[in-house]
Amino acid sequence: MVRSVTHRSFSSDHNERLEFLGDSVLNLSVAALLYEKLRDSPEGELSRVRANLVKQDTLHALAVQLGLPDVLRLGEGEARSGGQKRPSILADALEAVIGAVYLDAGYEAAQTLVHRLFAAVEISPQMQAIGKDPKTELQEWLQGRKMKLPHYRVVGTMGLAHKQSFDVECVIEELSLIERGIGGSRRSGEQAAAAAMLVRIQSKAET
């Protein structure tokens, strides 16, 4: 399991092969989940919803919820540049964890993990409206509840001038919630923070 959270910047014994395996297990598990949950949906609709669930933004937010940023093993340079918050690294690590569970305990255990990860995510045929970025989705969620829009602010920058990473906070004052994300631009950092916030509010709605 240690290998699953080891980035190639840390060691030659890294998680990329597990990520490859986990990607396939994830797609099959999500397909099975949607087959059961959306019984009346045609194949094209199921494919669109699955694409929404397994995209980087969704996996990044789930990885944050799972606590992967705290256990990632990164090389010194990658750690200094904020790699523990980078959406691509976290999404890959989550897939690698799923792959490791599959190898250690079999498909049933890996499928159970995937279903638990998505338990707090609202899955419906309306998710076919893919293309909505996390900021838009969060804005619409708040507007639908007559709440004020979130505030975004850069709380830090890392890396060299030509390859900076932006650490961004997303704040919903009415709910007293703060989430953070990191990206290669201010906009992508805001999107990452919004994705983390969406997972947070969807989890709260389930409890």
Q: CB pairs under 8 A, 24+ apart, for 81-84? A: 81/158, 81/159, 81/163, 81/165, 82/156, 82/158, 82/159, 82/165, 82/167, 82/182, 83/7, 83/9
In the set 19, 23, 57, 92, the catalytic residue is: 23
Backbone angles phi, psi at 73, to 5 degrees: -105, 115
Task: Quote the CA–CA distance of 20 and 16 in Å, as a whole number.
Answer: 6
| Residue 140 structure tokens | 């619409």
Cβ neighbours of residue 196 under 8 Å, at least 6 residues apart?
Answer: 60, 61, 64, 65, 170, 179, 180, 181
Handedness of CA 30, 36, 37, 43 (dihedral sign): positive
How does strand 165-172 pair with strand 151-158?
A: antiparallel
Active site residue 206: no
In the set 57, 78, 95, 179, the catalytic residue is: 95
Active site residue 23: yes
List, by residue number, the catalytic residues.
23, 95
